[in-house]
């Protein structure tokens, strides 16, 4: 007890927190949650959500990220106790100087409202129907091929009942622990869906995807940006920087064109003996890439500026208008803003939270972007074209 009291008696300033960002001497990593200071240097490697996601907040206030990611607070508090090294000094503000206090206060109030409305609780009937519809579509596709044979037309008709990508959206729900209330049941079913049925490791996907949610569109912290600069040049800041360094891994000023045919070997696949294997995989990856990138590539892409949680998410995400088709086609990721602000929220509640989030944005002058599905797809190409031109200008004249 005396030792715990001594630890809690250690007081720190924000300046002291900032220098423990994992890059200085000793590479110590400190972060703040509700004014408490935690040393996660050694724990990061054992962090269940992945080592890098927690390291991305080293030297920063991680309060809102911590609340957003952890639905079972009693479980994670057991880990926190052993990591506690002190707290902020009484003369230190609860918010970092570069973060918007009024915005975060209103957002935290909004989260309390959403919790009271039950919007973070899953509807088991909804997810049972989602799983049932996967089984029905899968059975229908096999029935078509079985009854009509394996010629091209029946195969393409069977493809119309495509379930692989819908299975991907479902494992995405499980990865965010939004299907069941207890994380262990989400993890178990996710392993069955992604490991067994799709052939990918759940731990790998969670490790990358958690980082994306923690710092979306932040270069070197969001793995979804790892295609820069080897394949694409993304965002104005990064593109100009790349151009001035005279680096050219690809003809970036044509990237909006080669993005459309992202897998040039597709034509070869049409004549391959494994046509029935590779075509579904090609269509799945194309579907996934366009849906996942339409909400992010057209938005701000830069290095981590340590913005507040709301600004970080809103500047990196946008929505696609709601419709029955859009909801189904994107696995409800057309509500990307709500999904990023509340990553553990079950997808069937996004539409209920959307008006509340929009009201918060209107109050604080933050743009709440929502567009048609076609516009969202076209904006990917416009954004790639613009960043390619920024790179070319800097490459030639910078």
Range of lowest pLDDT (13-22, 140-149, 325-334):
140-149
Q: Residues 44, 29: contact at Cβ < 8 Å?
A: yes
Phi-psi region of 27 (alpha: psi -120 to 50; beta: other; left: phi over 0): left
d(CA 250, CA 183): 42
Range of lowest pLDDT (39-48, 214-223, 348-357):
39-48
Q: In sequence order, which residues have a C-beta less than 8 Å from that of residue 324 and are 6 or more positions away?
A: none
Give 60-107 pLDDT, tens digit per residue.
999 999 999 998 777 788 889 899 999 999 999 999 999 999 999 999
d(CA 1, CA 10): 15
**Which pTM value belongs to this model?**
0.90
Token output for 375: 């516009």
* Percentage of residues of the chain with pLDDT beyond 70: 89
**Residue 276: pLDDT band by 50, 70, 90 thresholds?**
low
DSSP of 85-107, one letter per residue? EEEE-TTS-SS-TTS-HHHHHHH
**Given this model, what pLDDT does residue 118 score?**
96
Give 284-324 pLDDT, tens digit per residue.
778 888 999 999 999 999 999 999 999 999 999 999 999 99
Identify the CA nearest to 239 among candidates 261, 255, 223. 255
Angle of CA points 95, 97, 100, to nearest 5°: 65
**Given this model, what pLDDT does residue 140 score?**
79
Tell me how many helices (H) and strands (E) the chain has: 20, 6
**Given this model, what pLDDT does residue 196 score?**
85
**Given this model, what pLDDT does residue 5 score?**
45
For residues 109-119, average pLDDT: 97
**Residue 263: pLDDT band by 50, 70, 90 thresholds?**
very low
Q: Which of 11-25, 230-244, 267-281 has the highest mean pLDDT?
A: 230-244
**Given this model, what pLDDT does residue 6 score?**
41
For residues 357-363, average pLDDT: 98
**Residue 56: pLDDT band by 50, 70, 90 thresholds?**
very high
d(CA 14, CA 32): 9
- Tell me the pLDDT of the chain averaged across its residues: 89
**Given this model, what pLDDT does residue 381 score?**
96
**Residue 389: pLDDT band by 50, 70, 90 thresholds?**
very high
Q: Residues 170, 128: contact at Cβ < 8 Å?
A: no
**Residue 8: pLDDT band by 50, 70, 90 thresholds?**
low
Rg of the chain (C-alpha set): 23
With 80 as the cut, is the pLDDT of residue 141 above it?
Answer: no
Give 171-220 pLDDT, tens digit per residue.
999 999 999 988 899 999 999 988 887 778 999 999 999 999 999 999 99
Range of lowest pLDDT (54-63, 103-112, 195-204, 376-385):
195-204
**Residue 31: pLDDT band by 50, 70, 90 thresholds?**
very high
**Given this model, what pLDDT does residue 96 score?**
94
**Given this model, what pLDDT does residue 1 score?**
39
Name the CA dihedral angle for 136, 138, 141, 146, rounded to a multiple of 10 degrees: -100
With 90 as the cut, is the pLDDT of residue 343 above it?
Answer: yes
For residues 348-363, average pLDDT: 98
With 90 as the cut, is the pLDDT of residue 9 above it?
Answer: no
Higher per-residue pLDDT: 148 or 258? 258
Q: Residues 217, 237: contact at Cβ < 8 Å?
A: no
Cis peptide upstream of residue 229 (ω within 30 degrees of 0): yes
Range of lowest pLDDT (2-11, 212-221, 284-293, 333-342):
2-11
């Amino acid at each position: 007890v005396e030792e715990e009291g001594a630890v809690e008696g250690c007081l720190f300033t924000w300046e002291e927190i900032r220098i423990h960002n994992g890059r200085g001497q000793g590479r110590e990593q400190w972060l703040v949650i509700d004014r408490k200071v935690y040393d996660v240097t050694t724990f990061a490697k054992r962090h269940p959500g992945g080592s890098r996601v927690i390291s991305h907040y080293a030297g920063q206030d991680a309060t809102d990220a911590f609340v957003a990611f952890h639905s079972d607070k009693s479980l994670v508090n057991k880990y926190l106790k052993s990591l506690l090294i002190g707290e902020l000094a009484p003369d230190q503000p609860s918010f970092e100087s570069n973060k918007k206090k009024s915005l975060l206060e209103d957002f935290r109030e909004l989260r309390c409202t959403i919790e009271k409305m039950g919007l973070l609780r899953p509807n088991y009937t909804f997810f049972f129907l989602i799983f049932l519809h996967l089984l029905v579509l899968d059975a229908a596709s096999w029935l078509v091929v079985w009854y009509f044979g394996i010629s091209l037309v029946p195969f393409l008709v069977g493809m119309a009942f495509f379930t692989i990508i819908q299975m991907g959206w479902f494992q995405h729900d499980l990865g965010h622990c939004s299907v069941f209330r207890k994380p262990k049941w989400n993890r178990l079913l996710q392993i069955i869906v992604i490991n067994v049925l799709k052939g990918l490791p759940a731990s790998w996907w969670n490790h990358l995807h958690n980082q994306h949610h923690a710092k979306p569109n932040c270069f070197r912290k969001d793995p979804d940006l790892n295609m820069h600069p080897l394949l694409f040049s993304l965002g104005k800041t990064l593109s100009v920087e790349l151009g001035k360094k005279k680096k050219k891994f690809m003809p970036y000023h044509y990237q909006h064109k080669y993005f459309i045919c992202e897998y040039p070997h597709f034509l070869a696949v049409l004549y391959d003996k494994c046509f029935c294997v590779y075509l579904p995989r090609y269509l799945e990856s194309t579907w996934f890439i366009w849906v996942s990138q339409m909400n992010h590539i057209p938005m701000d892409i830069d290095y981590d500026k340590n913005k507040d949680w709301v600004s970080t998410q809103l500047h990196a995400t946008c929505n696609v208008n709601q419709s029955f088709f859009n909801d189904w086609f994107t696995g409800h990721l057309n509500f990307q803003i709500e999904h990023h602000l509340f990553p553990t929220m079950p997808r069937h509640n996004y539409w209920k939270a959307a008006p509340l989030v929009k009201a918060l944005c209107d109050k604080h002058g933050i743009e709440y972007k929502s567009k048609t599905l076609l516009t969202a797809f076209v904006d990917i190409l416009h954004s790639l074209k613009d960043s390619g031109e920024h790179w070319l200008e800097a490459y030639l004249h910078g």
